[in-house]
Structure 1
Amino acid sequence: MCGDPTRQSCGGALAVLSPPLRNTRFMPPEMSGRLTFHDCGKGGSVATHVTFTPDENSTSNSVVGLDSCVVAIHETGDLTKSAIISPFLYKFNMTQGLPTQQVDHQEGSIEVPLSHPMKIEVGGDGIIGRRVTLWSQHVADPIAEGIIGYN
């Protein structure tokens, strides 16, 4: 398994978002962080909520402005194609999100209830292994992307 070997699994699904790999026509604001798909601690295999937590080192390490963003889960995990031409499986806004507090009681993430529950599995309608992009409604190109894996 990739990543930090000391990190404990929390259940659900996780996508680590970074600036897009492909050069874009415009320079959108940089955003990096983690999208966690979960069922609010119930331990099930269907996500009912998604939480975005910005990276501490990100140039935009706050959730301010995230409410104007759209999350798209693509049909494949192919990062070699432009996200603009990669078909979507699911798409949702972060507008209905509520800020949450981290352990140190600082605002650090935003949680959104999903209007359509998503299966945390591989294949079919499952989201594991699929490309995910974060889009600002103010620019044409994605501001962050990653691949969804088990958390």
Structure 2
Amino acid sequence: VFDRFKSWRNREDKGVECPLCQQRNPEDAENCSRCSYQLQKASHQQKATVDDKTATDLFDELLEEMEEDDGGEIIDWSNAAFKMDDVTIDVKQYGKDDAVVTKQKPSFALTVDLPESSDVEEEEYELKPEDAPEFVT
């Protein structure tokens, strides 16, 4: 009767567990079969499996892809000023629970038309002692 529950016991799987990805590997394995972690060495003694030239080539390819994607128009949002008049949100009448229900969610891209950038310089203002609040201790 008790042999039936033998498979329920927590039995230890054979092999070495990779500390990086928890993959079970054979006892005599030097590298993890999933992530190539060197099982016989501590984490600070691991050697890079990718040489510098290959890594540089990979980074160059990634940067080229990013440069191709950046070909679009760049919008400078830092100089934009928004007013409540620029945004229109349709709101239904209040219900019994006084919750506001909108017909659509406002979208930043749909609510703003950027004005043409002007070359107006902002004047610098220097604070004076008279600008300080009176009742500051």
**Length-normalised TM-score, structure 2:** 0.15
Higher helix share: 2
Larger Rg: 2
Of structures 1 and 2, the one scoring higher in RCO (CA 8 A, sep 6+) is: 1
Higher strand share: 1
